[in-house]
Structure 1
Amino acid sequence: MSDGVPILIVDDEPPIRRLLRTSLGPNGFHVIEAENGEIALKLAVHEKPDVMLLDLGLPDMDGGEVIRRLRASGSKLPIIVLSSRGDEKGKVEALDLGADDYVTKPFGMAELIARIRAALRHRVQDDGGTPVFQTGDVSVDLTRRKVTRAGEPVKLSPKEYDILRMLVVHAGKVLTHRMLMQEVWGAAGDVQYLRIYIRQLRQKLEQDPERPEIILTETGVGYRLAD
């Protein structure tokens, strides 16, 4: 068996696959490659990678279809989408289908590796992580529904807590506006309501709400809790 964390790269451009292979290999990853969606779906089952890097523009099917089929099969494989700059709609659709994160081309390798490791940590959390989340001086105890900042209790409204809980459960993962609205309000609605509550949460949790370091904005897409 090959050493390293198995990672499946799905991209029809050989130069991109070569770049990722030569960059990720020395950083502790065993690279598996697929040039289209059908091959990717087969390798996801037979090779059992720990994470997938997925280009949306595949020759045989849209990358979103790969995500849809994997999630329909019950797979929890972390999926990081490689998207072209400006493809905001594609990013949102991929995340709504079940992708964990996205990186915009051209990307820096240090950022990509950080996103991969965050996705792997999130998978561990899904498999039974601690119910207490800590970031900076903010602590969230999901079992006791208790939030503190610098050791002092923070009083949240039910909606504020529901939003924060979603972000904590998926810490490090981008949650789209639609996903948060659907979970907290039960239906997609006016995103402005969500923005108001995010602003209120930042007022209570961030040292500088105008320069947030905990609840991060993914412009045009949604929000991410700093992992």
Structure 2
Amino acid sequence: MRSASRNEGVSPPRGSGQRLLVVDDDPRLAELLETTLSLAGYQVAVVDCGTEALHACDSICPDLLVLDVMLPDMDGFTVCQRLIENGARLPVLFLTARDAIEDRVTGLAMGADDYLTKPFSVLELLARVHALLRRAGTTAEPSPVLRFADLTVDERSMRVRRGDRLIALSPTEYKLLRYLLVNADHVVSKDQIMDHVWQHQFDPGVVEKLVSRLRAKVDAHPPALIHTVRGFGYSLRRPGGD
């Protein structure tokens, strides 16, 4: 998956909490898809085979399926066909490394709603997902305010509050806080922070200093929200959480 060029000048469309199921047996690509779609405002579940995809569709009832064609137990075409046979009615976006017209025709004939050929850009992926959800009637205007415990982040004004206290953050501190917020209750590593805050890899000590500065502002008064998970990274957690 290609990163969006900084010169494209286009803001990717955002989700509003719709449930997406990603089915891909490539761990690296699956992680990238999960991170990208989660940051765009979607709830994302990931499985790595067709059998698990069928079970997950029954259990979580996703609003959209992002489905790789080549899977270890059955191909994506078969998964799509079985979902239709089971009465499932959800948009399906096929991912494939094959660009043959026959494959596209087969996928669309099997019930797929759209097709992306690898490698693809982040902007193209998000645009296709948004368009399919809009067509299915599951999009809504996203809230410009992110909330977690007594922490609020207004994405329009870029103002951050903890309770009634207004917190002044630098642009980099704001990006880090937002990244922690959209991944709340999950652990993010230093490498992930570097990738999403700076898009570069360098001395992890820089991340430690940035987290320390952010923690001094956000957690100036207890209870603390930003937690260090030793050996793994950092996590935004509610007071009293594990």
Name segments (4+ residues, structure 1) moved above 4 Å.
Answer: none
What one-letter code is carried by the residue in structure 2 that aligns with 1:24?
A: L
User: 2:180: which partner in 1?
Assistant: none
- Deviations 1:46-69 (Å, cap 9, x if unpaired)? 111110100010000011000000
What one-letter code is carried by the residue in structure 1 that aligns with 2:115?
A: Y
User: 1:25: which partner in 2?
Assistant: 38
What one-letter code is carried by the residue in structure 2 that aligns with 1:72?
A: E
Q: Which structure is higher in helix share?
A: 1
For 1:86 and 1:50, how far apart are their aligned partners in 2? 26
Alignment of 1:163-202 (within 5 A): none
Q: Is residue 57 of structure 1 aligned with residue 62 of structure 2?
A: no
What one-letter code is carried by the residue in structure 2 that aligns with 1:10?
A: V
CA RMSD of aligned residues (A): 1.4
User: 2:135: which partner in 1?
Assistant: 122
User: 2:27: which partner in 1?
Assistant: 14
| Contact residue 83 and residue 91 of structure 1 kept, 8 A | no
What one-letter code is carried by the residue in structure 2 that aligns with 1:73?
A: N
What one-letter code is carried by the residue in structure 1 that aligns with 2:107?
A: A
- Deviations 1:152-196 (Å, cap 9, x if unpaired)? xxxxxxxxxxxxxxxxxxxxxxxxxxxxxxxxxxxxxxxxxxxxx
Instruction: Give how far 1:108 is off.
Output: 0.5
Q: Is residue 44 of structure 1 aligned with residue 57 of structure 2?
A: yes
User: 2:106: which partner in 1?
Assistant: 93
For 1:118 and 1:11, how far apart are their aligned partners in 2? 21
- Deviations 1:8-40 (Å, cap 9, x if unpaired)? 000000001011111111100111011000000
What one-letter code is carried by the residue in structure 2 that aligns with 1:22?
A: T
Unaligned runs of 5+ in 2: 1-15, 139-242
- Deviations 1:74-97 (Å, cap 9, x if unpaired)? 211100000114232222101101
Structure with greater contact order relative to length (CA < 8 Å, sep ≥ 6): 2
For 2:29 and 2:21, how far apart are their aligned partners in 1? 13
For 2:37 and 2:109, how far apart are their aligned partners in 1? 27
User: 2:81: which partner in 1?
Assistant: 68
What's the secondary structure of 2:137's corresponding residue?
Answer: helix
User: 1:137: which partner in 2?
Assistant: none
Number of corresponding residues: 123
What one-letter code is carried by the residue in structure 1 that aligns with 2:22?
A: I
Identity rate of aligned residues, in percent?
41
User: 1:108: which partner in 2?
Assistant: 121
What's the secondary structure of 1:66's corresponding residue?
Answer: helix
For 1:113 and 1:84, how far apart are their aligned partners in 2? 18
Give me the TM-score of the superposition, normalised by structure 2. Answer: 0.49
